Amino acid sequence: MWLFHFLKTRNWTALSGYLLFVGMMAVGYYYNLTFVQFGLLDLGTRLVGLTREQVAVNMTYLALTTTVVAIGVGWTMTRRGWSQRFLLKLRLAFAVVLVQTLLTAAAPFIRSETLFLAWILAASVALGVGVPATFGLTVDLIPVGDRGLAAALITAGAYFPAAVFSGVWTIETLSAQMVTVMIPGAAALGVLAFLRLPLTTTLIRDLSAQHRRPAFGQGRFVRMGPEGEGRISRYLLGLITLMFAIYFIDSLGFLRLADTPFFFEVAWQAPDLFPRVTIGVMHVIAALIAGALYTAMGERLLFLWIFGVFAMVHLMGIGTSLGMPILYALAVSLYTVVNFAIWADISTPRTITRNTAVGVALSGWAATFLSTALSLQLAEMGVSLEAHLRLVDALAMIFFLLVLALLYFQPAGERQVTEG
Amino acid sequence: MLLLFLLLALAGCDGGAVSGTVIWEGARIYGPGDVVAGEMVVLDGEVTVQQEAEVTGSVYMLGGTVEIAGSVGGDVALIAGDLGLGPTAVVGGDLSIGGGDVEQSPQATVRGDVLGGSDVNVSLETLFPQPTARQRLLRLLPQALIIAVLAYLVARFLGRPLAHVRRATVDHPIVSGAMGLLVGIVAPSLLVLMAFTVILVPITLIALLLAGLVVVYAWIGLGAALGRWLRRVLRRDWSPPVSAFAGTLLFMVITNLLVFIPLVGGWIGILATAVGIGAVFLTRFGLREFTLSYDFGPPHESPAN
């Protein structure tokens, strides 16, 4: 593993870059899991006085704006060649963290719907810029061979504290918690991105050159075409498209569960520490499993395992024991690891920002937008929780059948390719 | 294992059919008007079901303290722990006492039968008897010998597949371990899922048998690796079946003895078995050689500086 290689060879530059990326992404993902997902719900319902449905509508604006901004920024960065400029991406990341820190600190003071909506729009623009800028740093900071491990560390680093320590999901608690982490983070990023000290100058110079090295730049699934353009197989593209379905189905089920506090009280927000630690440990184990398998297995088997576990968990239905959240944690961690690693591995340093923006925005944000919209529509139609979850299970069943069909179709080979 | 299957069984049930709440620790109070849907399993902690609170299913106690003044729709079964039934308590089904202590008010209502003492004599120890250290040691050698003889036969007649499994355990222990853990978590869930469909129960039984065979195959693969190492260290001219026999015998003895080390002992055996199971799956039961899909390791190039 490259991480141990860097330690053994005392390559502090590469090691700093590695840790910077893992730390930044883990905190960013923790922020999304807790502050964006539950803090805003608390802010909207308790302090602003909106209904859960109104908050959900506002969240769809957040998701949609983030998707549009991310794709626009990612595309522009690729077209203008900014994807390959490490320092620019770092400065953008700093700007995003700075804006997000200010917004996070200001959030508990919002009391009107107009301000709430303005906050959401400002946050979605920042998140939209942040997606291509931060994910784009993968090609500069994480060697191809360690992308599974780095993704596992990010996933474990975000899910474990989210499961274990965030028992109180109020906007005040989450805001104070996040600001405490984000202020030193923003300061460190600012020093690295803007101050021209001897140490930072050397660090930036060396890290800027890393994406040109074979171990870093070209993604694992990219094959170079005759004119030097990156290509990936259509089979892989199909698998990635299927992964979007995972996000949609998962989000659709989770949203409705979030409306049912009873499910949370026995697991994610259990008053006892044991269930929360168990779920957190399962996230860590599953992330490390996924990290090891991502690196070692071919795309077909890898995706089959992820899809299979996901479908199985949904087909098991929704019980109220701890067994279900444990299995759910396994499925979620598996596909989250792949989501952190795959975009850089289907890209070159030139295309990383565009591919990441499209991938993350569509899977993470657009899927949330669509599932929230559908969830609200179903609730308005008077569909009960049980019927809603049956629909989710039915979708999971269709998905499972598609996975079984995949077993019979072998990759068509490297000749069928598309631009990556 | 009991807990794992209990949790998985509850996870496998639809919320409307059988669902449950598992209480692990801490104090839980259900006040008037509170309804606990489905079964309640109390492993530890203090649970109070106050007057006009309701548990719609049954209450199973494996430990802790439960005070009931409200109603329980199903049975109340006590295996261990302290149970109190207040004057306003109503138990819709049977009250089964297999162990622990019960303090029952004469005014408490039990609509079914009260089973206990001579009727039922159930405790965790009788349900799941734990062998003593002496019994374990007495069983160890014959068990290890049986598996070692199997290893000899596998190496004799299925030498090539076994070599694939052995190489995967030695060359890729982390990947094999990861795959083994994944299979170890997913397979029991899948078995529970299949068992709940009723129609797949026969397949579940076959799958259980296959799972057992996979575990034995994994031990043999690990034993073969250990035997090969032994052959080299001892500088013996053993044939592959003989080294598989010796290695498997040693592996079985070591892992069974490790169980006596508190806390970590059992886990070492479980992790080793996970590596073996993963190797069996990665090599598709030994039918092919496992190779990494791409060589990602640090090359001779130093990436920076």
Phi, psi of A417 (to 5 degrees): -135, 165
Q: Which of B8, B174, B303 sits opposite A215 (nearest CB)?
A: B303
Cα–Cα distance for residue pair A147/A337, rounded to 1 Å: 9
Q: Which of B10, B181, B305 sits opposite A11 (nearest CB)?
A: B305
Cβ(A367)–Cβ(A248) below 8 Å: yes
Cα–Cα distance for residue pair B39/B19, rounded to 1 Å: 6
Q: Which of B11, B23, B175 sits opposite A316 (nearest CB)?
A: B11
Cβ(A221)–Cβ(A341) below 8 Å: no
Buried b (16+ CB within 10 A) or exposed e, A372-383: bebbbebbeeeb
The DSSP 8-state label assigned to residue B68 in this structure reads E
Interface predicted TM-score (ipTM)? 0.85
> Are the beta carbons of B186 and A312 separated by less than 8 Å?
yes
What is the nearest CA distance from B304 to chain A, expressed in angstroms? 6
Whole-angstrom CA distances from B274 to B48, B178, B189 are 41, 8, 16
Residues of A in contact with B20 (CB under 8 A): 319-321
- E strand or H helix at B41, and its extent? strand B39-42
Cβ(A189)–Cβ(A97) below 8 Å: yes
Strand partners, B230: none
State which amino acid sits at residue B10: L
pLDDT digits (tens, 9 = 90+) for B28-67: 888 888 888 877 878 777 889 998 899 888 888 877 889 9
The strand order across the sheet containing B20-23 reads: B20-23, B39-42, B59-61, B76-78, B95-97, B114-116
Whole-angstrom CA distances from B122 to A122, B4, B5, B13, B125 are 63, 20, 19, 26, 8
Q: What is the CA radius of gyration of chain A?
A: 21
Query: In this predicted structure, what is the pLDDT of residue B304?
Result: 42
Name the pairing type of β-strands A417-419 and A230-233: antiparallel
Closest by Cα among A190, A121, A154 to A31: A154
Residue of B nearest to A264 (CA): B21
Q: Helix H segments across B104-234? A: 124-127, 133-157, 159-171, 173-196, 201-234
Query: In this predicted structure, what is the pLDDT of residue A170?
Result: 87
Q: Of B1, B22, B190, B270, which to mutate for an interface test with A (greatest number of A Cβ within 10 Å)?
A: B22
Cα–Cα distance for residue pair A12/A30, rounded to 1 Å: 26
Sequence-distant (≥ 6) Cβ neighbours of residue B282 within 8 angstroms? B168, B172, B175, B176, B179, B290
> Are the beta carbons of A207 and B24 separated by less than 8 Å?
no
For A216-267, where are the E strands, in sequence order?
Answer: 223-224, 230-233
pLDDT digits (tens, 9 = 90+) for B119-156: 444 445 555 566 777 777 888 888 999 999 999 999 99
Instruction: Pull the structure tokens for residue B9.
Output: 């069984």
One digit per residue, the tens of pLDDT, for chain A of length 420 reads 888 889 999 999 999 999 999 999 999 999 988 888 788 888 998 999 988 778 888 888 888 899 999 999 999 999 999 999 999 999 999 999 999 999 999 999 999 999 999 999 999 999 999 999 999 999 999 999 899 999 999 999 999 998 887 667 789 999 999 999 999 999 999 999 998 888 999 999 999 999 988 888 888 898 887 777 778 888 888 888 888 888 888 777 766 565 655 555 555 666 677 778 888 999 999 999 999 999 888 888 888 888 888 888 877 755 545 667 788 888 889 989 999 999 999 999 999 999 999 988 888 778 877 787 787 777 777 777 778 877 887 888 888 788 777 767 766 554 444 444
Residue of B nearest to A202 (CA): B305
Residue of A nearest to B13 (CA): A319
Q: Can you say whether the dihedral through the CA atoms of A328, A330, A333, A335 is positive or negative?
A: negative
Cβ(A349)–Cβ(A83) below 8 Å: yes
Q: What is the DSSP string of B117-130?
A: TTS----HHHHSPP
> Are the beta carbons of B24 and A272 separated by less than 8 Å?
yes
Cα–Cα distance for residue pair B228/B232, rounded to 1 Å: 6
Cβ(B27)–Cβ(B8) below 8 Å: no
What is the nearest CA distance from A166 to chain B, expressed in angstroms? 18
Sequence-distant (≥ 6) Cβ neighbours of residue B280 within 8 angstroms? B165, B214, B217, B218, B221, B286
Cβ(B147)–Cβ(B273) below 8 Å: no
> Are the beta carbons of A312 and B25 separated by less than 8 Å?
no
> Are the beta carbons of B15 and A298 separated by less than 8 Å?
no
What is the nearest CA distance from A212 to chain B, expressed in angstroms? 10
Cα–Cα distance for residue pair B303/B305, rounded to 1 Å: 7
Residues of A in contact with B288 (CB under 8 A): none
Whole-angstrom CA distances from A329 to A154, A315, A332, B87 are 15, 15, 5, 43
Instruction: Pull the structure tokens for residue A44.
Output: 């909207």
Cα–Cα distance for residue pair A88/A93, rounded to 1 Å: 9
The DSSP 8-state label assigned to residue B88 in this structure reads T
Cα–Cα distance for residue pair A212/B304, rounded to 1 Å: 11
Q: Is pLDDT of B80 > 80? A: no
State which amino acid sits at residue A48: V
What is the nearest CA distance from A249 to chain B, expressed in angstroms? 18
The DSSP 8-state label assigned to residue A321 in this structure reads S
Query: In this predicted structure, what is the pLDDT of residue B19?
Result: 56
